[in-house]
Structure formats: structure tokens, C-alpha cells
Structure 1
Amino acid sequence: MTGPAASTPHVSASNPIRDLPLQHLAGFTHRWVDADGVRLHAVEGGQPSGPAVVLLAGFPQTWWAWRKVMPHLAHRFHVIAIDLPGQGHSERPERGYDTHTVATHVHAAVQALGVSTYSLVAHDIGAWVAFSLALDFESRLRRVALLDAGIPGITLPESIPTDPDQAWKTWHFAFHSVPELPETLLAGREREYVGWFLKVKALSPDTFDDAELDHYAAAIAVDGGLRASLAYYRNAPDSARRNREALKSRHLTVPILGISSSHGSVPDMAAAISPWAENTTGIVVPDAGHFIPDEQPEAVAAALTDFVTDDE
């Protein structure tokens, strides 16, 4: 169910990241929300009275990762894309980047926008947060879709492979966890670093144009964005511990769709999640690498529409 977001007192036009140019999408509105002490950026549009669908992106992206999917969903749903803490135009707190703490902020943001129950769709680190959010706020969720993500304690291997055929997919987990060194090496080189991920992990190296590379690099470079991006990886052991602790007493019952791709990081998301969830289905999107919403937006939108409306 949704309500009139404009009348909610926790919603404002106060942008905490003013040095990063805003990306605009026709039919959608920028909002900033007081989300349990952290200002989060949300981009909202579609059908105000329709089922709510909340979108979360991962590293090294922002809400803009969903720009090609959102117009397709807007015909039927109330669509809300949220920048995680430290991401895009959301505030960059000094601490609190374990996924359960972040999930609390995200859920508070959704409620501040007048939404009581919603479906959650998330990619990469966004899926880390979404899984923890499902553990903590399952009664508020209608459905959850998770796209190509090694979730700490769930689908992420305990050790990083050293075989070059596999290591290129996960080497950065160890690098990002090293204190201070990544900041020293990456400062001033954010565009080269972000560009490596977006070009190598997409099936086609031409998936992202120069403007998109500039946007994502700037989002990480400005106002502590690099520190915040790395913090998710540095807090991954705590995220994994809290996930496993929650799963000792129960499994998830909310319907979960695992979305993999033909050339992604996790070949079968549904199979990887199924030991922890009672109602899991999966699909594999062809002709795509890791960045499935950018590479095959129509296929992603169609799969999400079918999944979210399956019980209507």
C-alpha cells in the first residue's frame, strides 16, 4: 500500500551531496528522506496507487543503474529507487555500513515516503542490503528479487579464488577490505577504477558511455564516497555474522526471485539462496554480464512485472 508522499513531514528537498550533478529521469521526482538519522536520496514516480517497487543498486553505481528499467515499471507500479547510505546523493555517515544497519535506514526511508508494504528489487551490494532487510522486516515485504550478488554469509564464498579464470570476479573483496591502502591508490584515479568494473564485468565493453562513467566515478570521488563504498566490504564479515545469526531460528518465507545472467558472477542465484528461503524461483537473463539492468533492461522489467503481479 502507498500513501501521499508529498504530505509526509520527513520528506524534504535538502540535498546533502551538492557537488555531484543530479541525473534527471522524465516522470520521476527527486526526494531526500530523513531515514532514521541518515538523509537518503530517493527517486520516485509511476503510479502512486499501484503496488510499490523499491530498487537498490550496488557498487560502483547509484540509483541511475535502474534508469532504463524504471520507465517500463512506471506504467504499472509505484517506483522508488533509493541511493544507499554513502551512494549517489545520499548522506555518507562515518560508520554503520553493515547491511542490517543499512537495511534499517532503507526501510525507514520507504516508510517516510508513505509506503507500508512493498516489493524489493536489488543488485550487487543492494542485494546484500535487501537480504538483510528481508530478515529484519519480512512482514513488510510482498516479494524480493535479487540480481547477481555474492551476499555475505549466503551466496558469497568463504574464500576468494586465485584461479585467474575466476579471480577477476571477486579479487576486489580482499582489496577493499585492506585498511587505508585502497584510498591511497585510488584517490584521483576513480574513473579508471570504476571504468574497469563497468567495462570488464559487462558482457559488452560498450555498455556504458563516457557520461555514465563520469557520473559513477564522480559519485565515488565526492564527499567521502570512496570511503563509504569500501565500508560495505569492510563490514561484510559483520553482515555475514548477523545474517547467519538471524537464520539460526528461521528461514525466509517471502517469495524470492533470483535473477542471474548468462555471463554474470553467480550462475544460479535461486539455487544459492534456496537453502535459506522456502519460496525461491530463478531465471537466467541471456546476453548479459554482471550489470543486468543496464544490459538487458526490457528483460529485467518483464521478469519483475511477472513476479510482482503473480499473486494479483
Structure 2
Amino acid sequence: MTRLRSLRLPDGFLDVFTSRLVEVNGLRLHAVTGGDGPALLLIGGWPQTWYAWREVMPALARHHTVVAVDSRGAGLSDKPDDGYDAGTLANDLVALMTELGHTRFDVAGHDIGTWTAYALAAGHPERVGRLAIIEAVIPGLTPSPPLFGPAAANLKLWQFGFNRLTDLNEELVRGRERLFFGWQFATKAATPAAIPAYAVDVYVDAFTADPRALRASFAYYRALDETIAQNEQRSKTRLTLPVLAVGGALWSGASAALTMRLAADDVTEVVLDDCGHYPAEEQPTRFVEILEDFLAANP
């Protein structure tokens, strides 16, 4: 709870949610949990932590037991040298939910959290009821863009190549974390100030507080060859569970739904107006309405 008290959070947040470290298979994962009802696992994206879900968690907790996780390498979770492929990350979170007492649960993933969310649904169908994919480009499902693509596409995807570099990217970013990550939020959201400065500080502090954090964040991208090969195999068996695909009109738009229709039979598409890459932070009220409607729908 001490960790939570140091953060700027919605009113009443600390009355509902608890911060905890959970040991799973020799790995400590950090999760913020609270609420009552069917379990809902929230998996954040790059370069964020569980904190990306703060604005939507209280409303979701009225009808769900919410588990907002720092996946391996992120936030307060352990940062081992390896294990950043989607399959291993999915296995981490299956073990986490088992340890927390949730046999079956729904999953929402954002950004690179969609890589893990898809691997969870495809690799552990007996555990996942419904899947929400937010602002997704999923390697191995999404067709690779051309090297000399349009400038707009390069603006959205350039970090894939940069983040996969060995060592040089860490040397270039270390000491300039506020510039590098601040630029990500300012350019990918609907407006430069849509992600408030205090939230950017939380994300940047997570990198500067732990010397292993920068390497771990790039490790997701350095493991892409393995994740792509896994997803090419996963895509041979189509998902039959309900899938919600959400995009921000000012960033990915319908791309999340186009991606998931390559892998799933039952896809609900939503594009949020006046929204960039971060729906849960930019449009929290509308996002909760959409997600709740999807989770509450009849099978």
C-alpha cells in the first residue's frame, strides 16, 4: 500500500485496491488487485506499467475482480535476462492468476500487452473467457509493413526496429529517458498533453529507478523472432472465444479489428473518436462502457 500512496490516483482507489508481489515459478510479479466479481486481467503496453489502467480500474471493480499486472520486466516485477517471448509471458500470467485463485478469467491487453493476451487466449483457451485487444499490432498476425513505407506508418512503427537493437539503443536512451519516452506519449496520444505529465513521470521513474528496466523493456522487442514464430503457429487454430478489438481513431483506427479477424471468428470492432493510442487514459469513461458491454454480453 505504501507504493500506491505515493502515486496520484482516483478518489477512493486505495479503499478498493491493494498492491502485492506474487511469487510464481521463481519470479516475483507485481499486481494491483481489487473489486468483486468475475476476474479480469489487465495487461499494459510499452513503455507503461499497471498504472496505465488507473482511471478505469475503480469502475471495472464494481463488477469484476480486477488484476492489473506488471508483466516480467515492467514496473515493480522482476527483470530476468530472458523469457520475453509471448509464450513465456503468457505462462507467467496463467501462473499468476492461478496463485490468486482465478481458474477462469477475462483478459484485456494494450499495445505489446496484446501479444501476451493473444498468446494467453490461444495457448490456454480453458482459462480465458473473453479477450479484449486494444490498439494492437501483433507480430506474426499483422502483416509486416514495407521497409520504405509511408511517413505516417514509419512514425507509428519505427520503434520496432530501434528497440530490437543490441546495446546501442540502451546507450542512446539512458540518461535521456524523459525525452525519449515523453516523446512517445506526446506524439501517440490525441494531443501532446492527453497523457498528463504526472503519469509520464510515473512511467519514466520506473525506468530510472531500476538499472535493469531499460534492457528489460527492449527485451520484448529483441524476442520478436521467437514471438513471431509462435504466433504463426498459433494462428493455424482460430480463436473461437469472443474478441473485442478497440482502436483510437487518431492512431490505429480499425487496425486492431483487422488484425484480430485474421485469427478469430467472433470479433467486435470499436473505434474511439478523438482518441490516440491510449484509450484507457484518453477516454476512460467511454472505454469502460465499451469493455463492460462486451464482458456482460451473453455468450
Question: Percent identity among equivalent residues?
Answer: 38
Equivalent residue, structure 1, for 2:175? 188
* Pair 1:161–1:131, CA change in 2 (3 A): farther
Q: Is 1:136 the counterpart of 2:128 in the alignment? A: no
Map Cα deviations across residues 251-271 of structure 1 (whole Å, 9 max, x no partner).
111111101111123533122
Map Cα deviations across residues 129-164 of structure 1 (whole Å, 9 max, x no partner).
101111111111110000012111112525455422
Equivalent residue, structure 2, for 1:32? 21
For residues 110 and 148 of structure 2, what CA distance do their matches in structure 1 show? 22
For residues 152 and 293 of structure 2, what CA distance do their matches in structure 1 show? 35
SS at match of 1:61: coil
Q: Is 1:157 the counterpart of 2:168 in the alignment? A: no
Equivalent residue, structure 1, for 2:224? 236
Which structure 2 residues correspond to residues 28-177 of structure 1 after superposition, within 5 A? Answer: 28-47=17-36, 50-155=37-142, 157-177=144-164
For residues 23 and 165 of structure 1, what CA distance do their matches in structure 2 show? 34
The root-mean-square deviation of aligned C-alpha atoms, in Å, is 1.8
Alignment check: 8 A CA contact 2:141 2:235 kept: no
* Pair 1:93–1:159, CA change in 2 (3 A): farther
Q: Is 1:247 the counterpart of 2:238 in the alignment? A: no
Which structure 2 residues correspond to residues 192-211 of structure 1 after superposition, within 5 A? Answer: 192-211=179-198
Q: How many residue pairs were aligned? A: 292
Map Cα deviations across residues 166-192 of structure 1 (whole Å, 9 max, x no partner).
211000100111111101101111111
For residues 148 and 271 of structure 2, what CA distance do their matches in structure 1 show? 23
SS at match of 2:270: strand
For residues 71 and 192 of structure 1, what CA distance do their matches in structure 2 show? 31
SS at match of 1:138: coil
Shift of 1:109: 0.6
TM-score by length of 2: 0.93
* Pair 1:128–1:272, CA change in 2 (3 A): same
TM-score by length of 1: 0.89
Map Cα deviations across residues 230-278 of structure 1 (whole Å, 9 max, x no partner).
0001111210101111333x21111111011111235331222112112
Shift of 1:280: 1.3
Shift of 1:22: 6.1
Note the residue ranges of structure 1 that are not aligned, 5 or more in a row: 1-12
For residues 47 and 281 of structure 2, what CA distance do their matches in structure 1 show? 13
Alignment check: 8 A CA contact 1:160 1:171 kept: no
Map Cα deviations across residues 88-130 of structure 1 (whole Å, 9 max, x no partner).
1111111110011011001111111111101000100111110
Shift of 1:210: 2.4
Equivalent residue, structure 2, for 1:10? none
The range that moved more, 207-216 or 136-145, is 207-216
